[in-house]
Amino acid sequence: MSMPEESLNAAELLPEVYEELRRLASIKLATEKPGQTLQPTALVHEAWLKLQGRKGDRYKNPRHFFAAAANAMRQILIDRARQRNTAKHGGHFEMVRFDFIDVASNTEDGTLLALNAALEKLQVEDPIKAELVNLRFFVGMTVADAGKLLDLSESTVKRYWNYARAFLIAELRRQI
C-alpha cells in the first residue's frame, strides 16, 4: 500500500482503526483534570472531522493515518487548553515541576501549551521522536504499541522516548 495510487482517505481507514483510537482516547482523557467534559468518542470524532476536512489528504497505510489522527487529537487538546487558559477564562501560567513527563499525569493547561511549544521544536529536530511523543503522551500508547506502529524495536522506542523526554524537559525549563 505504499504507492500513492493505492492510498486511502480518512473515511476508508477510520473503520480499521476506530476502536483502537477510541480506546487510546479513553485512556488519555482519564488522565485529564476532573471536570473536563470531552469524551473519548467526541475526541476521536473531532479528530476524524479534522482529517476529513482535508479533502486532498490520502494515507498510505493505517500507520500514516494513525499518525495524522494523533496529531489531530493533540491539536484538539492544545486548542482546548488555549481556550481555557485565556485571560477571559481566568487562565494563567504557573510554575510547574517537570521531574518527568508521563502519560498518567494530570496536565495543566499552561503546562500543555508549554509542552506543545517544546514539541514543535522537537518536530523540527527529529520528526520520529516527535511522533513518538504524540503517540505516547497525547494518545496514551504503550512502548510496545508505539514500537509496532512506528516499526521500531522496543529498545529503540525506549531510547527515543528517553531522549525526547530529556529534550522536552530542557525546553520546558527554558520556558519557565
User: Domain span at residue 65?
Assistant: 4-91+102-175
Asked whether the predicted pLDDT for residue 21 surpasses 50, the reply is: yes
The pTM assigned to this predicted structure is 0.53
pLDDT at 20: 82
Cell (9 digits) for 165:
523526554
Average pLDDT over residues 116-134: 93
pLDDT higher at 73 or 154? 154
Instruction: Look at residue 97 and tell me if it is in a domain.
Output: no
Residue 149 located in a structural domain? yes
Residue 96 lies in a domain: no
Domain count within the chain: 1
Q: Kindly give the residue spans of alpha helices, DSSP state H, lying in the chain.
A: 10-30, 40-53, 62-85, 109-125, 127-133, 143-150, 154-175
Average pLDDT on 19-33 reads 78
pLDDT digits (tens, 9 = 90+) for 86-116: 655 554 544 444 444 443 345 677 777 888 8
pLDDT tens for 151-163 read 999 999 999 999 9
- Residue 35 Rama label (left phi>0; alpha psi -120 to 50; beta): left
Tell whether 45 is covered by a domain. yes
Q: Are 61 and 149 in contact (CB under 8 A)?
A: no
Residues 66-72 have a mean pLDDT of: 84
- Spatial separation of the C-alpha atoms in residues 122 and 66, rounded to whole Å: 19
Q: Is the pLDDT of residue 77 over 70?
A: yes
124 inside domain: yes
